Amino acid sequence: MTNEPGTEDERAVGHLRALLARADARVQELEQDLARSERLRRDADARTAVDRRLVDCARDGGGLAALVRTCSHLTGKPVTLFDHDGRRTMSAHVTSTTVPTPPLADILDSLESRPHQNDRVHVANAALGGSLSRRKMIASVHAGGERFGWLVLDEHPAAFGAVDEFVVARSAQLLAHEYGVQKRIARVAWNARSSLTRQLIRGTNESADLASSAEYLGVDIDADRVVVYVQDADRVRTSAVLDQALAARLERALEVEVLATRGSDGVMLLVEAPRHSGALTSVARVKSAAAQASSTIPSFASAIIGVSSVCTPATLARGYREAREVVLCIDRFAQLTDHRVMAVDDLGPARLFLANSSTTAVTHYVDDVLGPLLTGTPGTADLLVTLQHYFDASRSVRTSAARLGLHENTVRLRLARVHGVTGLDVASDANDQLSVQTALLLLRLQGHPALPTFGNDGVDGEPGRKFA
């Protein structure tokens, strides 16, 4: 049987068409591969250019702000850097329109899962009725197991591009490196200033060496200062980072130089006293600022703080002893939260007796001196108040009467009653006056309801709350 010519030709043509179709498909695949390779090459070139620009920015020493600005320029979008507590550290944008950035917490809450410390870039999606009006790219800024903050890129004015994710990721890495460098520099500077602080307090180094170190660090060693001793809460040692934070907050609050170093069970601060400010005003401002600054740092919120008088460079060692004695008095006898921060002028010379005597002996002493006025019987509280105002008024009957709103003879009668009940002549006997003043001081420390508290602003306050 013979094949017809037309049939073979058709088969050959069909086979040839199939070969051509496969060849065409292969060509298309090759063209797609080539286009893909070209895109990858362009992306690689773009990433290389981006990396070079970011690395050059970091190498030029522009710091965090320059890296954030460069990230914004490379993407053409607003960029915000948050610190580890979620506060906005800095931002940059290339358009004339300022784009508000929502709180970091809202951005993180919009993610499907909380990002860990890795190099991935996450996208927070916008949702109708949600806290985000546009998508955000977010990357963790971290190094060595420590998170320094977050870098956020806003999808405005254009949609996210192919290189945006790389820019954000690389910027976050370089920002983490910059944070690490700044942290190391700050640690070195802190250690140097801490050493200088100890030398100033001890006063044992040669003045030439001390002056040389101070000049290098930009510290004025001739300034008068107030010594502040912050005892570790519950005897738990705080980290150098928290010590630095406390010193920095005091500096910002008072707008003066604050030196700091760590002692055996607390932090020592040397607070510069303004040259044209009175001693009492300087101490009152330091006392108030120390109370406020410590209350904002959880590890110091319940710490006991002693404040010295204003000291010259030659008397800083004395100021350190004063602040330590105040801390001892508070630690041993104070029962009010209002008495967590006190100055040496609040306690006077009697602090030496309270700080260095046994608590049992001091308690017995107060009972021996003022015991008859501590029974709670009617009228005894008025006698205690009168005694306190009498000594606060430098033993002036007239001033005491004016402050109490009483007649002068009423004050004299009350002092006579004290003499009759206790046997102590506070109107004319210096020894009896010292005994009563010392006993009243301990009662105030303990928070006796009839006596005023020691206010943190240098002014006596109302009876306060007991320590927990």
Q: What is the dihedral of CA 69, 75, 78, 79, to 10 degrees?
A: -60
Contact 149, 83 (CB under 8 A): yes
Residue 416 covered by a domain: yes
Residue 466 pLDDT grade (very low, low, confident, very high; cuts 50, 70, 90): very low
What's the CA angle centered on 356, arms 352 and 359, to 5 degrees? 115
Residue 216 covered by a domain: no
Please tell me whether residues 172 and 235 are part of one structural domain. no
Residue 311 covered by a domain: yes
How much is the pLDDT for 2? 53
Please tell me whether residues 156 and 251 are part of one structural domain. no
Domain CATH for 282: 3.30.70
User: What mean pLDDT do residues 61-74 have?
Assistant: 91
Domain CATH for 427: 1.10.10.2840
User: What mean pLDDT do residues 100-104 have?
Assistant: 88
Q: What is the dihedral of CA 394, 398, 402, 407, to 10 degrees?
A: 140
Residue 233 pLDDT grade (very low, low, confident, very high; cuts 50, 70, 90): confident
Please tell me whether residues 403 and 337 are part of one structural domain. no
Question: Nearest-CA neighbor of 467 among 328, 334, 336?
Answer: 336
Please tell me whether residues 250 and 269 are part of one structural domain. yes
Residue 459 pLDDT grade (very low, low, confident, very high; cuts 50, 70, 90): very low
Residue 23 pLDDT grade (very low, low, confident, very high; cuts 50, 70, 90): confident
Please tell me whether residues 173 and 140 are part of one structural domain. yes
Residue 410 pLDDT grade (very low, low, confident, very high; cuts 50, 70, 90): very high
Using a 10 angstrom Cβ sphere, with 0-12 exposed, 13-18 middle and 19 or more buried, the burial of residue 223 is: middle
Q: For residue 326, what are its two tokens?
A: 């105040």
- What are the φ and ψ backbone dihedral angles of 384, each rounded to 5 degrees? -65, -45
How much is the pLDDT for 458? 40
Residue 241 covered by a domain: yes
pTM to 2 decimals?
Answer: 0.65
Please tell me whether residues 348 and 373 are part of one structural domain. no
Please tell me whether residues 248 and 347 are part of one structural domain. yes
Contact 50, 170 (CB under 8 A): yes
Average per-residue pLDDT for the chain: 87
Residue 98 pLDDT grade (very low, low, confident, very high; cuts 50, 70, 90): confident
Please tell me whether residues 235 and 346 are part of one structural domain. yes
Which of 7-16, 249-258, 405-414 is least confident?
7-16
Residue 9 covered by a domain: no
On the question of pLDDT at 161 being above 90, the answer is no
Residue 190 covered by a domain: no
Total domains in the fold of the chain: 3
Please tell me whether residues 241 and 149 are part of one structural domain. no
- With both helix axes pointing from N to C terminus, report the angle between 5-59 and 164-202 in degrees, rounded to the nearest 10: 20
Give the pLDDT confidence of 268-311 residue by residue, as tens digits. 999 999 888 889 999 999 999 999 999 999 989 889 999 999 99
Most confident segment among 27-41, 73-87, 454-468? 73-87
Which of 117-121, 186-190, 423-427, 446-450 is least confident?
117-121
Most confident segment among 142-146, 179-183, 363-367? 363-367
Q: What is the dihedral sign for C-alpha 253, 255, 256, 259?
A: positive
The Cα–Cα gap between 164 and 170 comes to 10
On the question of pLDDT at 467 being above 50, the answer is no
SS (H, E, C) the chain: CCCCHHHHHHHHHHHHHHHHHHHHHHHHHHHHHHHHHHHHHHHHHHHHHHHHHHHHHHHCCCHHHHHHHHHHHHHCCCEEEEECCCCEEEEECCCCCCCCCCCHHHHHHCCCCCCCCCCCEEEECCCCCCCCCCCEEEEEEEECCEEEEEEEEECCCCCCCCCHHHHHHHHHHHHHHHHHHHHHHHHHHHHHHHHHHHHHHHCCCCHHHHHHHHHHHCCCCCCCEEEEEEECHHHCCCCHHHHHHHHHHHHHHHCCCEEEEECCCEEEEEEECCCCCCHHHHHHHHHHHHHHHHHCCHHHCCCEEEEEEEECHHHHHHHHHHHHHHHHHHHHHCCEHHHCEEEHHHHCCHHHHHHHCCHHHHHHHHHHHHHHHCCCCCCHHHHHHHHHHHHHCCCCHHHHHHHHCCCHHHHHHHHHHHHHHHCCCCCCCHHHHHHHHHHHHHHHHHCCCCCCECCCCCCCECCCCECC
Please tell me whether residues 240 and 289 are part of one structural domain. yes
User: What mean pLDDT do residues 78-92 have?
Assistant: 91
Domain CATH for 112: 3.30.450.40
Residue 464 pLDDT grade (very low, low, confident, very high; cuts 50, 70, 90): very low
- What range defines the domain where residue 431 resides? 359-446
Residue 98 covered by a domain: yes
Compare 442 and 33 and report the one with higher pLDDT. Answer: 442
Residue 17 covered by a domain: no
Would you tell me how many other CB atoms lie within 10 Å of the CB of residue 403? 14
Please tell me whether residues 400 and 316 are part of one structural domain. no
Give the pLDDT confidence of 366-397 residue by residue, as tens digits. 999 999 999 988 999 999 999 999 999 999 99
- Half-sphere exposure for 232 (CA within 13 Å, toward CB): 14
The Cα–Cα gap between 347 and 357 comes to 15
How much is the pLDDT for 35? 82
Give the pLDDT confidence of 300-348 residue by residue, as tens digits. 988 999 999 999 999 999 999 999 999 999 998 888 777 889 999 999 8
Rounded alpha-carbon distances, angstroms, from residue 384 to 155, 376, 462: 70, 11, 15
Q: Which of 127, 157, 180 is the last residue of a domain?
A: 180
Residue 175 pLDDT grade (very low, low, confident, very high; cuts 50, 70, 90): very high
On the question of pLDDT at 3 being above 60, the answer is no
User: What mean pLDDT do residues 403-429 have?
Assistant: 94
Please tell me whether residues 95 and 110 are part of one structural domain. yes
